[in-house]
Amino acid sequence: MSEEIKNTSTEYSADSIQVLEGLEAVRKRPSMYIGDTSEKGLHHLVYEVVDNSIDEAMAGYCTDIEVTINEDNSITVEDNGRGIPVDMHEKLHKSALEVVMTVLHAGGKFDKGSYKVSGGLHGVGVSCVNALSTHMLSQVFRGGKIYQQEYEKGKPLYPVKVVGETNKRGTRQQFWPDPTIFTHTVYKWDIIANRMRELAFLNAGIKITLRDLRPDEEGKTKEQVFHAKDGLKEFVRYVDRHRTHLFDDVIYLKTEKQGIPIEIAVMYNTDYSENIHSYVNNINTIEGGTHLTGFRMALTRTLKAYAEADPTISKQIEKAKVEIAPEDFREGLTAVISIKVAEPQFEGQTKTKLGNNEVMGAVDQAVGEALTYYLEEHPKEAKLIVDKVILAAQARIAARKARESVQRKSPMSGGGMPGKLADCSSKDPEECELFLVEGDSAGGSAKQGRNRAFQAILPLRGKILNVEKAMWHKAFESDEVNNIIQALGIRFGVDGEDSKEANIDKLRYKKIIIMTDADVDGSHIDTLIMTFFFRYMPQIIQNGY
């Protein structure tokens, strides 16, 4: 790995060689450090630099962060924190700033006991950003002076120097991503804006200003300020802004249990799905984990206990003749969960599933206490939730009946397929493809053009049911939706009579293609079909089919 380095090593001290090897490693295998070198990796550089300012803000020393997309597509991040230290590092004989900028993972050396993330997504250190930039400029405003150092591909061009005076305090970082490393080099406003909005919601009170100095078609530049003084309360309202609420209140808690800071905001809406956004150390844990499990456990237990303790509600449940299942408590629930863990263990395919067991009990306890209190204090809202839960249980039972009747009356249960399906001859799911085609006539054309050995065609008539707006069982009453389920070989309610979980063991096609017209109706149908997959059989998406 260090062949090229050895040749030029005479001018470097032993320490420098180590540093260079570190930076060379980052440049040789950038994906190992920042995930990938596509658009995602490119934007990751910004997050990495901003994260350091966020850490400074979480430690209580910084209130403002300014992120600028410059006209030449470089990025500037400036904060009003204490400034990265510039004094001499004892062992390495160079400025602490230089160490932070050039030594892998050096960030930890100055750790203030904040919640850094080990491995996985963030926390690789600003030195990685430096290594992957053709040029980088660091400035520190501290003690009345402006300190500065510049780098090329991570290598300092000169020792840290004073370049002027200032009454500002803080750190300013500017970098130019290396176009020989990244497949994309143009920053997208929306991608950065979404992350900055999320960070502002997750860290109440921090003001993040995003600017885009690249003129648009009208020659205009952009600026947006993200600032949420109420943190997650504002976040959950934002997530649910297009939904109708069961009641306007946000159920909110912010506490610490067993040394784990926990913040949660919950709203109930009139839709039928569960939307939980969970974060650990500001990272979106899309695969969930122990914090999510703790939340769900507490929610089920607390609502159940509340319903059982209230004679009127118990009678109401008895009358409705339903057995309430855990998932019934989560219909129409939107929640944002944010916790901080000192040593997070991230697991799962994308390393976004929290594994720390101690977190489960902490979140369970926090949610149990806060929700019990909320229900006692808000009987009106509590009743609205319980009514909704009973409705959900009834719908779930109705869904089972609809499914059973479909399976009885149609030829499908015996391996029969929907009449409209033009199946392929292969029976090997690995090579079989199913085309979901908009309209019978396009379906006909697709049939003529296909390779019948492995390509099957299922024409769909018009728009399928919008499952996002329908109760669970309605999907099983819709012919078009049932045709898709049957053609795919999906079964529901296998583990436990009315489980909502799809069983895809007998999936007949491992490639599913949505084929619609390139117009608004086509896009709408795409959306409806994808929503159906996302809500009823997310495994199809998760497995990349």
Closest CB to ligand 0RA among residues 24, 48: 48
Mark the segment that binds ligand 0RA (CB under 6 A) among 81-89, 312-320, 480-488, 504-512: 81-89
Tokens found for residue 235? 């976040």
Residue 85 in contact with ligand 0RA, rule: CB under 6 A: yes
- CB 83 → ligand 0RA: shortest distance, Å? 6
Under DSSP, the state recorded for 281 is T
Nearest 5°: phi and psi at 312? -60, -45
Residue 155 CB, nearest approach to ligand 0RA (Å): 20
For residues 398 to 437, the per-residue mask of contacts with ligand 0RA, x marking binding by CB under 6 A and - elsewhere, is ----------------------------------------
Using CB under 6 A, which of 24, 48, 79, 234 touches ligand 0RA?
79
For ligand 0RA, the closer of residues 97 and 424 by Cβ is 97
* DSSP-based three-state secondary structure for 539: helix
User: Interface with ligand 0RA includes 53 (CB under 6 A)?
Assistant: yes
Interatomic CA distance for residues 52 and 63, integer angstroms: 13
Question: Pick from 24, 48, 56, 178: which binds ligand 0RA (CB under 6 A)?
Answer: 56
Tell me how far, at minimum, the Cβ of 82 lies from ligand 0RA, in Å.
4
> If binding is defined by CB under 6 A, does position 171 make contact with ligand 0RA?
yes
Cα 366 to Cα 118: distance, rounded to the nearest angstrom? 25
CA distance 367 to 264: 8
- Decide whether 140 or 442 has the Cβ nearer to ligand 0RA: 140
For ligand 0RA, the closer of residues 85 and 522 by Cβ is 85
In the list 44, 45, 48, 52, the residue contacting ligand 0RA (rule: CB under 6 A) is 52
Q: Does 81 bind ligand 0RA (CB under 6 A)?
A: yes
CB 195 within 8 Å of CB 47: yes
Smallest gap from residue 126 Cβ to ligand 0RA (A): 7
Closest CB to ligand 0RA among residues 53, 95: 53
- Report the nearest approach of ligand 0RA to the CB of residue 61 (Å): 7
Spatial CA neighbour of 235 closest among 276, 270, 190: 276
Number of residues binding to ligand 0RA, judged by CB under 6 A: 11
Identity of residue 267: M
From 51-59, 128-136, 357-365, 508-516, span contacting ligand 0RA (CB under 6 A):
51-59
Residues 133 and 153: beta-carbon distance below 8 Å: yes
From start to end of 231-360, where are the E strands? 251-257, 260-268, 275-280, 283-284, 288-289, 333-339, 346-347, 353-354
Is residue 373 involved in binding ligand 0RA (CB under 6 A)?
no
Shortest separation between residue 187's beta carbon and ligand 0RA, angstroms: 20
User: What is the rounded CA–CA span in Å between residue 292 and residue 274?
Assistant: 12
Nearby residues of 7 by Cβ (< 8 Å), 6 or more positions away:
none
Q: Is 105 in the site for ligand 0RA (CB under 6 A)?
A: no
168 interacts with ligand 0RA by CB under 6 A: no
Residue 442 parent element (H or E): helix 440-449
Are the C-beta atoms of 144 and 166 separated by less than 8 Å? yes
Of the candidates 490, 419, 423, 425, the one whose C-alpha atom is nearest the C-alpha of residue 456 is 423
Instruction: Supply the DSSP symbol for 156.
Output: E
Three-state DSSP class for 529? helix
Q: Between 126 and 512, whose beta carbon lies closer to ligand 0RA?
A: 126
Residues forming the active site = 438, 517, 519, 521
Is 95 one of the binding residues for ligand 0RA (CB under 6 A)?
no
Q: Which residues pair with 436 in a beta bridge?
A: 458, 514
* Dist CA 106 CA 127 (whole Å): 8
Centre a 10 Å sphere on the Cβ of residue 527 and count the other Cβ atoms it contains. Answer: 15
| Residue choice 84, 267, 422, 434 for contact with ligand 0RA (CB under 6 A) | 84
* Nearest distance, CB of residue 271 and ligand 0RA, angstroms: 41
CB of 284 to ligand 0RA, least distance (A): 22
Site for ligand 0RA in 320-339 (CB under 6 A): none
Name the segment binding ligand 0RA (CB under 6 A); options: 80-88, 253-261, 394-402, 496-504. 80-88
Give the number of C-alpha atoms closer than 13 A to the C-alpha of residue 143, restricted to the C-beta side: 6
Residue 146 backbone dihedrals phi, psi, to 5 degrees: -105, 115
Residue 455 binding ligand 0RA, by CB under 6 A? no
* Residue placing its CB nearer to ligand 0RA in the complex, 138 or 338: 138
Measured in degrees and rounded to the nearest 5, phi and psi for residue 13 equal -75, 170
The residue (of 121 and 362) whose beta carbon lies closer to ligand 0RA is 121
Please identify, using beta-carbon distances, which residue of 110 and 373 lies nearer to ligand 0RA: 110
Question: CB of 101: closest distance to ligand 0RA in angstroms?
Answer: 10
Output phi, psi for 135, to 5 deg.
-145, 145
From 110, 161, 411, 538, residue interacting with ligand 0RA (rule: CB under 6 A): 110
For ligand 0RA, the closer of residues 65 and 360 by Cβ is 65
Distance CA 190, CA 208 (A): 15
Owner of token pair 């976004």: 352
Smallest distance from ligand 0RA to CB 52, Å: 4
Per CB under 6 A, the segment of 78-86, 230-238, 246-254, 415-423 that binds ligand 0RA is: 78-86
Q: For residue 398, what are the CA distances in angstroms to 157, 285, 329, 401, 472?
A: 71, 33, 17, 5, 9
Query: In this structure, are residues 218 and 243 in contact, taking their beta carbons and an 8 Å threshold?
Result: no
Distances (CA, A) of 156 to 16, 22, 127, 390: 11, 14, 11, 65
Q: Which residues form the interface with ligand 0RA (CB under 6 A)?
A: 52-53, 56, 79, 81-85, 110, 171
